[in-house]
Amino acid sequence: MPNLTLVKTSEEFRLAVGLEKDKLVVVRFYATWCKACKAVAPYYRRLALQNPGVKFINVPVSGDNIDLHQGLGVPSLPYGHIYHPEVGMTEEMKISRRHFGKFARTVKTYVEGQCDVDDVILSNVEEANSVKRM
């Protein structure tokens, strides 16, 4: 898959993510021994297939790149980052199966260029505005 790349070292990560100035970059940090990471792999691959204009990166944890995971503050696995070409990292979150839907929706908002605003947030804003008018 041309938009899904395996990155194993800090230097490869810098080249794949840090120097990308045109495309949104989505990163999955995982371990080959991690059951939750294995469970989410097909969902991540499908997300990459559905978004060919986005660069997807897989970063497995290993003895050679543990400093990369620690340096980026990856607290658990599987974990995801989203990098916007103009501003760098904009999102980071857990991406286990339980959390993957939220991650996929977040990627979609960047791809489509619009944010979904929760109905609860909208109703709170409307309530606040009506109180101000009184």
Three-state secondary structure readout of 19-34:
CCCCCCEEEEEECCCC
Measured between alpha carbons, how far apart are the two ends of the chain, in Å? 58
d(C-alpha 118, C-alpha 69), whole Å: 32
78-125 pLDDT, tens digit per residue, is: 999 999 999 999 999 999 999 999 999 999 999 998 766 665 555 665
What lies within 8 Å, CB to CB, of 7 at 6+ separation is 13, 16, 17, 57, 58, 59
pLDDT band at 1 (very low <50, low <70, confident <90, very high): confident
Q: What is the pTM of this model?
A: 0.84
Residue with tokens 């898959």: 1
At 130, the pLDDT band (50, 70, 90 cuts) reads low
**Does residue 14 have a pLDDT over 80?**
yes
Per-residue pLDDT band at 64 (split at 50, 70, 90): confident
Q: How confident is the model at residue 21 (pLDDT cuts 50, 70, 90)?
A: very high
What letter represents residue 30's amino acid?
A: Y
The DSSP bridge pattern shows strands 55-60 and 88-94 to be unpaired
Catalytically active residues are 34, 37
